[in-house]
Amino acid sequence: MSFESAKWVWMNGACVRWDEATVHVSAHGLHYGSGVFEGVRCYETEEGPALFRLDAHLERLYYSAEVYGLEIPYTREELSEAVCEVVARNEFRSCYVRPICFYGSRSLGVNPRGCPVEVAVMAWPWGAYLGAGGQDAGVRVTVSPWLKFDSRMMPTTAKACGQYLNSMLAARDAASRGFAEALLLDAEGRIAEGSGENLFVVKDGRVVTNDERHPILLGITRDAVIQLARGLGFEVETRALDLEDLRAAEEVFFTGTAVEVTPVVEVDGALIGEGARGPVTERIQRAFFEATSGRDPRYTHWLRHVAAQPAWSTV
């Protein structure tokens, strides 16, 4: 990840230079994590840069905001245009986009009463999330000593800033022990998700994942992969996942906006299947990148193409 080529940020209604996109130290969101965000990937296609499932990401952003009582002062179409503007102004062909909404500066009581809602959109180039080669060779993961918080503690289906402290603890612990990523269990000892990814298991040709009955974020990429897998003829089952499912799995893979589709080949020293990317994962990967690049016409409705820079060249 590098911010060096990012020059513009959309902030509270207008694009500003990267170094001018600042927040006051008294912002409520800084002190309490009181904000919501999304991660959206923009892919290069023959018709120019295209945002993958932008509508679905914005729908979840507004849902998360509603859960936490943030009233976003822009319509979905206005934010959609803001995302496109940031990509175009930065002249990116492909990138990662981060819309974020948070309570700003007015008071620092835990209740954010009276605090304004700040809205920003950033974009920057971001390659393979779990390291170069991970999507081909697969990654090594560990079961985290940190548990995923229960939906009775915080709403797991909302994507809120402060909730990711749980993920940060798990990810840092995994990295300190030489693993690419962590797997978090829930309070009942069942598999929840990675620190920022959903998990799929392949057994006997069937693709299995968990759902909102378990403490996971319902990933946009997760949903896309379920549709792609069914389109390829695979049976997809949603149910609880246990550690035994990992031990018996032929293949395991992560999904997420940042991680895309990445095979898991080892859990705490135990190989998954043959210890390499499996054929089902590879087929789903290929279908995913054909969809994101616009090469599969069945999924072009998932793409929002970005207009060329001159549309916003007046500022």
Residue 159 known to be catalytic:
yes
Catalytic residue, from 7, 148, 159, 203: name it. Answer: 159
- Going by C-beta distance under 8 Å and a sequence separation of 6 or more, which residues neighbour residue 172? none
φ/ψ (deg, to 5) at 77: -65, -35
Token digits for 59? Answer: 């729908």
Q: How far apart are CA 200 and CA 192, in angstroms?
A: 11
Amino acid of residue 46: E
Packing angle between helix 279-292 and helix 220-231, nearest 10 degrees? 110
Concatenating the DSSP letter of every residue in 40-97 gives EEEEEETTEEEEETHHHHHHHHHHHHHHTT---SS-HHHHHHHHHHHHHHTT-SSEEE
Q: Are 261 and 135 in contact (CB under 8 A)?
A: yes
Task: Please choose, from the candidates 148, 180, 154, the residue with its C-alpha nearest in 3D space to the C-alpha of residue 166.
Answer: 148
CA angle (60, 66, 70) in 5-degree steps: 110
Instruction: Give me the active site residues, please.
Output: 159
